[in-house]
């Protein structure tokens, strides 16, 4: 299985934030969801991927090439959707097409107008009159009109109403069908990912905690509930974080098999959602994985 994006030991220090020694692989042909709390480093990572920021240390490869010598070729094959509008606000889609289309060798006008029709976007209205959802669709239409093999989306579902969000997810599912594209998208609405993601990359405080397939995440992680009396120092080590209350405890583990072997029926287990993982990992005292 090929990696379309590879980060090796990437470090970037910004004024009040840094990401350290990031290793990241994005698998070709799949949807990878990128989760983490606000300020965990999602946007910084994506900007590094787009060469909007340059790494202080480490290597970033996209399509097996580096930006220093192949910047244009990489960007030809990449599509982008940002969390806010990056197009000239006073222009309409027709004018934006005039600016963007000639930049790409593979631009397909027919494809563009097909998507505009499909997404029901007006061609002659200024982008500033577009709703958040329409802006998102416009970015997506542009990304899809130049045959982008890798589409990077920064918080595409943030600020969309539920109906629109589901519609967008359906569109994403559809564009992934032919298996030629790779999608990487960040979100903090984890339920979106449970629907469409094949892989999950979790970032916290500027560090990647894990990249795993959705099934692996579901197999390894669980919420464990039980009485306080089952907990001792060794058992405690098997948990990422324990929440104690007068009724007992709830804890997150990434070692379902281990817990089953040691505690068996003395505790109850339920599948952990991505949100549970995010929540418990945030309060974890120790770094795990």
Partner 1 sequence: MFNLIKKDFFIQKTQIGLLVPIIMIFAIFIENIHPAFIFLIASVFIPLNAYIFDQQSKSNILLNSLPYTRKEIVAARYIGAIVYMILSIALAGVILYVFQFDYTMSDVAIAAGLFCLIAAFAFPLFYFLKAEYIFIAAFIGFIVSTIILPPVFRFLAAHLTTITDFITSLSIATLYLSGAAIAIGLYLISWVVSQLIYQRKVF
- Which residues contact partner 1 (rule: CB under 8 A)? 14, 47, 50-53, 71-73, 75-76, 78, 80, 82, 84-91, 95, 98-100, 102-104
Residue among 58 and 248 whose Cβ is closer to partner 1 = 58
Rounded Cα–Cα distance for residues 182 and 254 (Å): 27
Q: How far is the CB of 31 from partner 1 (least distance, A)?
A: 20
Closest CA to 192 of 27, 35, 83: 35
List the beta bridge partners of residue 38.
Answer: none
Q: How far is the CB of 58 from partner 1 (least distance, A)?
A: 17
CB 6 within 8 A of CB 201: no
Rounded Cα–Cα distance for residues 273 and 190 (Å): 8
CB 61 within 8 A of CB 73: no
For the purposes of burial, counting CB atoms within 10 Å of the CB of 36, is it exposed (0-12), middle (13-18) or buried (19 or more)?
buried
Q: How far is the CB of 135 from partner 1 (least distance, A)?
A: 12
Residue among 89 and 161 whose Cβ is closer to partner 1 = 89
Residue among 67 and 199 whose Cβ is closer to partner 1 = 67
Q: How far is the CB of 77 from partner 1 (least distance, A)?
A: 9
Q: How far is the CB of 121 from partner 1 (least distance, A)?
A: 18
Helix (H, G, I), strand (E, B) or coil at 269: strand
Rounded Cα–Cα distance for residues 61 and 67 (Å): 7
Residue among 79 and 226 whose Cβ is closer to partner 1 = 79
Three-state SS string over 270-289 comes to EECCHHHHHHHHHCCCCCCC
Name the region of 39 (left: φ>0; alpha: ψ -120 to 50; beta: rest): left
Q: How far is the CB of 74 from partner 1 (least distance, A)?
A: 8
Residue among 87 and 185 whose Cβ is closer to partner 1 = 87
Residue among 45 and 190 whose Cβ is closer to partner 1 = 45
Residue among 88 and 180 whose Cβ is closer to partner 1 = 88
Residue among 136 and 209 whose Cβ is closer to partner 1 = 136
Tokens of 73: 């070729």
Q: How far is the CB of 186 from partner 1 (least distance, A)?
A: 15
Q: How far is the CB of 71 from partner 1 (least distance, A)?
A: 5
For the purposes of burial, counting CB atoms within 10 Å of the CB of 21, is it exposed (0-12), middle (13-18) or buried (19 or more)?
middle
Compute the radius of gyration of the chain from its Cα atoms: 21
CA atoms within 13 A of residue 166's CA, in its CB half-sphere: 2
């Amino acid at each position: 299985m090929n990696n379309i994006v590879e980060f090796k030991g990437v470090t970037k220090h910004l004024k009040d934030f840094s990401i350290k020694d990031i290793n990241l692989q994005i698998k070709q042909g799949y949807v990878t969801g990128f989760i983490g709390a606000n300020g965990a480093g999602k946007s910084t990572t994506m900007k590094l991927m787009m060469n909007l920021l340059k790494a202080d240390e480490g290597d970033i490869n996209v399509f097996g090439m580096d930006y220093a010598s192949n910047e244009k070729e990489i960007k030809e094959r990449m599509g982008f959707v940002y969390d806010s509008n990056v197009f000239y606000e006073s222009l309409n889609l027709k004018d934006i097409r005039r600016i963007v289309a000639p930049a790409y060798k593979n631009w397909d006008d027919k494809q563009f107008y097909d998507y505009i029709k499909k997404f029901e976007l007006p061609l002659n209205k200024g982008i500033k009159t577009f709703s958040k959802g329409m802006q998102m669709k416009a970015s997506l239409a542009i990304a899809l009109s130049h045959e982008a093999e890798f589409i990077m989306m920064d918080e595409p579902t943030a600020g969309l109403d539920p109906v629109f969000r589901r519609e967008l997810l359906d569109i994403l599912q559809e564009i992934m069908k032919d298996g030629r594209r790779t999608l990487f998208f960040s979100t903090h609405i984890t339920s979106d990912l449970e629907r469409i993601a094949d892989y999950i990359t979790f970032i916290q405080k500027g560090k990647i905690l894990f990249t795993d397939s959705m099934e692996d995440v579901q197999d390894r992680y669980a919420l464990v509930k039980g009485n306080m009396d089952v907990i001792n120092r060794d058992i405690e080590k098997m948990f990422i974080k324990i929440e104690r209350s007068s009724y007992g405890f709830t804890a997150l583990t990434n070692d379902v098999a281990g817990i089953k072997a040691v505690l068996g029926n003395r505790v109850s287990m339920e599948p952990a959602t991505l949100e549970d993982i995010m929540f418990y990992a945030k309060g974890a005292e120790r770094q795990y994985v």
